[in-house]
Structure 1
């Protein structure tokens, strides 16, 4: 059986013998700051885990430096205002101006990857598949295929682009204990790839509380070649850790912090971020054909998710995916079914 091969590229040390292709995503590793006068000790401080209080990840790229506020950089032990100013100035020289022309933005968008849902109807709805550099949220009632989608994408992401994949590895954060290796094997068999190698390319983390979940969501940045980050599901642990109405404000604040980090990672490392979400009854649904359920997480989650998809049961084995919100696609629907090979055409 064929196996997928992966390459990660950076200007600070590409694999020997590998030449960059024009359409490959390239990022500047934080070590590049040394070429602009930043010493290795200060770069090590930027990369160190927990170097910033209340922050559980280091800074691995020059873009990460730009995305980190001056205030947070000053919280790193041994970082003076002069050092932070010099680091910020160096990152500006490497990355250039924050302002870009529309053509430059268009060129950057050409780097966006798409991972197929394994359903042609849903892919057509999405304009090709789930996109990188942003967060996609999928919500629905039980047995609509949220976790099955996560398993399906875990395999498809490893396939080459001509098969709907992104030739990359996967990080899977499981908050409900529903990840099943045997499902991965069955889906890998469907696509004709080696099941054991497919499992080897999935980094799995079982999260038991919302803080652990937030930490696990960042750790994948320490590895290379990842193209998909899954959190299944995003709100399960937040609901149990912050159960009372009096804790709602704190819950939403912690959720907002985690989503901001995931959004930065999606853009910084050009990865697809997929969040599955639970639903609750919507007492305000008074219109005749209005949905009787709504996703949990409130406005914080709705604003963070660039793409939102609602799943519901159809007739018989059919399931329906409705594109509720998207920055570049109209509201529409697609159909799929669930079988041994994951999501599939009806």
Structure 2
């Protein structure tokens, strides 16, 4: 709360200009000073200083609401993913005020889900009267406007005459460094209000962190954790304060784990393949993939949707973490009209086991 931007809290234009001249950007910048320092720096009277402090302190106190009000808001500000089954499982789709993660290997369709979601946000907003603009942060230069056009023409031909209007409501950033992304996130709250945004997409959150801060040394790990914590705090603050949906994509990494030492050569049908015993104990390692960025990032995500190949032309979306939905898997394909969700998968044992692996933490 203390990192809220002053530009959204202060209405008096003259006071805004004074705060800007003194380089006061957040609530914390002002509240870290004594009342006397504030009066002197901003040239305010005691009454004006007291009124400013009252407003800033009030902005730092979380407001309560009833469970009924919360349920009504969730129903009103949820974004459909285009499948009745999946939307019902998620209690309406993607909810405003939350951070949703799509995680999966390269080429599985993470960017396609982002484009699919952006199109649905723009088009559904027109009919519902909600915020319709989308802010799209593309760290891998994977965004293609022509793909948006193709999805609309093939999937929503009735909206084809309004393609230019739809494209004008998607605002694109393409940061190439950690510093660029941090600067964008610092000013994003004001931008989201100005553009009347209802959806924020970051594709991908892992790319720059893994590229610039190589894991290995303790200092590098600490730097990565601190950077991710800073980004996560900003994204959660934007989602909650502006009541918009934040969608991020994440890469995956391999994770190794020790098993109990076994005697090589024993007739163990699970571990050994030889028919004689050497009497030598060896450590056996298992490996599986898990979303990147580790424990810190995992706790910042409200809903985690895992994307994977299922060995055929279709792919799977797995609800691995959700405050409202149970474990479930849905098959989908990627076509000219974007994401097409086929239905819920019956292979319960397989995907539950797979999801449990994804919920384990790593430091990748």
Report what 2:55 is aligned to. Answer: 90
Counterparts of 2:70 and 2:49, CA distance in 1 = 28
**Shift in alpha-carbon separation, 1:241–1:109, aligned structure 2, 3 A:** farther
Among residues 1, 16, 37, which one is paired with 1:43 in the alignment? 16
The question of 1:261 aligning with 2:223 is answered no
SS in 1 for 2:256: coil
Post-superposition offset of 1:159: 1.8
- Farther-moved stretch of structure 1 (180-189 vs 211-220): 211-220
Could you tell me which residue of structure 2 aligns to residue 173 of structure 1? Answer: 137
Q: Write the mapping of 1:300-319 to structure 2, written as runs, cut at 5 A.
A: 300-319=296-315
User: Is contact 1:117–1:343 with CA below 8 Å preserved after alignment?
Assistant: no
> In structure 2, do the counterparts of structure 1 residues 213 and 200 end up closer, same or farther at CA, with 3 Å as the change threshold?
same
Which one is further off, 229-238 or 140-149?
140-149
The partner residue of 1:188 within 152, 159, 174 is 152
Q: Distance in 2 between matches of 1:174 and 1:50?
A: 33
- Judging by fraction of residues, say which structure has more helix: 2
- The answer to whether the Cα contact below 8 Å between 1:157 and 1:165 also exists between their aligned partners in 2 is no
What's the offset of the Cα at 1:68?
8.1
> Residue 234 of structure 1: which of 205, 225, 246 is its match?
205
In our comparison, the structure showing a higher alpha carbon Rg is 2
- 1:10-159 aligned within 5 A: 29-32=8-11, 34=12, 40-44=13-17, 48=20, 51-52=23-24, 58=25, 65=27, 70-71=31-32, 78=41, 86-91=51-56, 98=62, 100=64, 103=66, 105-112=67-74, 113-159=77-123
Structure 1 residues 162, 43: CA separation in 2 closer, same or farther (over 3 Å shift)?
closer
Q: Superposition RMSD on alpha carbons, in Å? A: 3.5
Contact 1:114 1:128 in 2 (8 A): yes
1:100: how far off?
Answer: 2.7
Q: Distance in 2 between matches of 1:291 and 1:331?
A: 22
Instruction: Give the corresponding residue for 2:262.
Output: none
TM-score, L = length of structure 1: 0.74
Q: Offset of 1:331 from its aligned partner?
A: 2.4
**1:36-91 deviation per Cα after TM superposition (whole angstroms, max 9, x unaligned):** xxxx4433455x49935xxxxx45xxxxx5x8893399999936998776434124
Query: In the alignment, is the contact (CA less than 8 A) between 2:256 and 2:287 conserved in 1?
Result: no
Counterpart for residue 293 of structure 2 = 297
> Which residue in 2 is equivalent to 1:20?
none
> What is the DSSP-based 3-state SS (H/G/I as helix, E as strand, rest coil) of the residue aligned with 1:208?
coil
1:92 deviates by: 5.2
Aligned pairs for 1:320-335 (under 5 A) are: 320-335=316-331
1:204 to 172, 184, 193: 172
Whether the 8 Å CA contact 1:73–1:79 is kept in 2: the answer is no
CA change 1:96–1:276 in 2 (3 A) is closer
Unpaired runs of at least 5, structure 2? 1-6, 260-269, 271-285, 343-364
Displacement of 1:333 after TM fit?
Answer: 2.2
Q: Which moved more, 1:325-334 or 1:135-144?
A: 325-334
Q: Distance in 1 between matches of 2:228 and 2:133?
A: 26
Q: Is the 8 A contact 1:157 1:170 kept in 2?
A: yes
Shift of 1:312: 0.9
Decide whether aligned partners of structure 1 residues 98 and 275 sit closer, same or farther in structure 2, where only a CA change above 3 A counts: closer
| Alpha-carbon distance in structure 2 between the residues aligned to 1:292 and 1:133 | 32
Aligned pair in 2 of structure 1 residues 317, 87: CA closer, same or farther (>3 Å)?
farther
Cα offset, 1:181, TM superposition: 0.9
